[in-house]
């Protein structure tokens, strides 16, 4: 089967609405990698990202009959995942208020380094963890435009359409997000030096 012989997202969704689970499985297979990368960048943790992706696909399956095939399936799925990320953030905020606990890099379980003993790899991993934590800590209004444009490659207009903003507002928020990230990482570097 060549690439042009593969059914479109619209064809697969139409079949899935009719109850064809294999068609929906094909949609999941087609979209799972980019969706995981998007969610991972938003939430900052691998395990939580897997959970959000699963929840997103489950919600998509339930709401599939409401999907408008005139619009791109990927945009619809991204919107579902974005809402799931927002729900998780709200629940985490409630837990912090109720229990006074926030998941921070200091109290997360350590993950084994796949290349033990490699100083360069360890330094790169720490830098990436710091960046992911800093992105996850951004306010939602700044994090969403940054993740969608800088990390997911959407244009300012596409991100604006998804978020209900105009392109200039997205551009401004991305600028502010980058500025806040730079300040947060700089503060962290100063804290490391002073300790």
pLDDT at 147: 87
Cα of first residue to Cα of last residue in the chain, in angstroms, is 60
pLDDT of residue 166 exceeding 90: yes
Average pLDDT over residues 33-37: 93
Residues 17/59, Cβ–Cβ less than 8 Å: no
Q: From 158, 182, 152, 181, select the one nearest 171 (Cα to Cα).
A: 158
* pLDDT at 126 > cutoff 80: no
For residue 175, the enclosing domain spans 118-195
If one counts the domains in the chain, the total is 2
pTM for the model stands at 0.60
Contact 46, 40 (CB under 8 A): yes
Place 51 in a pLDDT band, splitting at 50, 70 and 90: very high
Between the CA of residue 34 and those of 14, 31, 105, 120, what are the distances in Å?
22, 6, 25, 27
Compare 88 and 26 and report the one with higher pLDDT.
26
- Assess whether 166 and 79 both reside in one domain: no
108 inside domain:
no
Check whether residue 13 and residue 62 sit in a common domain.
Answer: yes
**Residue 110 located in a structural domain:** no
Query: Could you say which of 103, 131, 154 is where a domain stops?
Result: 103
* pLDDT > 90? residue 30: yes
User: Between 188 and 39, where is the model more confident?
Assistant: 39
d(CA 41, CA 149): 12
- pLDDT reading at 73 higher than 90: yes
Residues 17, 65: contact at Cβ < 8 Å? yes
Under the banding of pLDDT at 50, 70 and 90, the label for residue 134 is confident
- Claim to verify: residue 31 and residue 98 sit in the same structural domain: yes
Based on the domain organization, do 17 and 68 belong to the same domain? yes
Show contacts of 126-129: CB within 8 Å, 24+ apart.
129/105
Q: Which of 69-78, 129-138, 147-156 is modeled with the greatest confidence?
A: 69-78
Nearest to 79 by CA among 56, 62, 61: 56
Domain presence at residue 36: yes
Residue 22 is part of a domain; what is its CATH number? 1.10.1740.10
By the 10 Å C-beta count (0-12 exposed, 13-18 middle, 19+ buried), 2 is classed as: exposed
pLDDT of residue 15: 92
For residues 94 and 12, membership in a common domain is answered with yes
Of the three residues 64, 80, 103, the one that is the final residue of a domain is 103
């Amino acid at each position: 089967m060549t690439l042009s012989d593969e059914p479109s997202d619209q064809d697969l969704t139409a079949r899935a609405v009719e109850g064809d689970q294999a068609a929906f499985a094909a949609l999941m297979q087609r979209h799972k990698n980019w969706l995981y990368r998007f969610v991972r960048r938003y939430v900052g943790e691998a395990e939580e990202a897997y959970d959000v992706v699963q929840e997103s696909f489950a919600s998509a399956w339930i709401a599939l009959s409401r999907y408008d095939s005139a619009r791109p399936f990927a945009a619809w799925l991204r919107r579902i995942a974005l809402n799931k990320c927002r729900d998780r953030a709200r629940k985490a905020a409630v837990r912090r208020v109720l229990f006074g606990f926030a998941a921070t890099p200091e109290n997360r379980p350590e993950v084994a380094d796949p290349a033990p003993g490699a100083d360069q790899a360890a330094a790169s991993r720490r830098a990436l963890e710091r960046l992911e934590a800093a992105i996850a800590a951004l306010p939602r209004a700044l994090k969403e435009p940054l993740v969608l444009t800088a990390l997911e490659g959407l244009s300012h207009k596409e991100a604006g359409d998804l978020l209900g903003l105009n392109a200039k507002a997205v551009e401004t928020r991305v600028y502010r997000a980058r500025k806040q990230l730079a300040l947060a990482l700089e503060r962290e570097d100063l804290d490391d030096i002073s300790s």
